[in-house]
Amino acid sequence: MTAASDAKDELLLAAAREYKAFHEALHGLNEEQTAEVWLGTWSVKEIVAHISGWHREMQPALDRLARGERPIPDGVSYDDVDAWNARFAAGAKDHEVAGLLLELDRSHEDFIKAADRVPAERWEPGKTTHRIVDGNTAHHYREHADQIRTWRTSRGV
């Protein structure tokens, strides 16, 4: 194995591990609890929709990287992360958590499949593929799972 393929395998394994931990942080919450706003203007539902939104938004970037292209097309900017986050979180409105979790599972699976198609040599730490995958999987899942666990502890939920 090369260092690049090791980096790819390690990050995909970390993504799987942290995805499982994220789901464990949600385990046992009911619809009312998932709709309780506690993270600024967000509830668990907005967090889930936000993660799915980034999966869907970044999957085409991985598809382009797999083809040897630049990840972000001309004219697209992610500089205003807060606006993107708000847009994705708005997707939770009027949806039951079960549907949001199903979409999370689907978007995660599609994102991982797209990531896996990117050649191993493009996965070096600090490079674009590594940043996109880590930022939208392991790192992202861990960040929000930690927030949810903290909230649950503070509420005795």
Domains and CATH numbers, the chain: 3-18+38-155 (1.20.120.450)
pLDDT of residue 91: 87
| CA separation, residue 135 to residues 23, 139, 157 (Å) | 18, 5, 28
* pTM for the whole structure: 0.94
Structure token digits, residue 113? 């499949």
| CA separation, residue 21 to residues 73, 86, 134 (Å) | 33, 24, 15
pLDDT of residue 29: 97
pLDDT of residue 4: 61
Residues (pLDDT < 50) of the chain are none
How does pLDDT run across 56-100, given as a tens digit for each residue?
Answer: 999 999 999 999 999 999 999 999 999 999 999 998 988 999 999
Residue 57 CA to chain centroid, in angstroms? 10
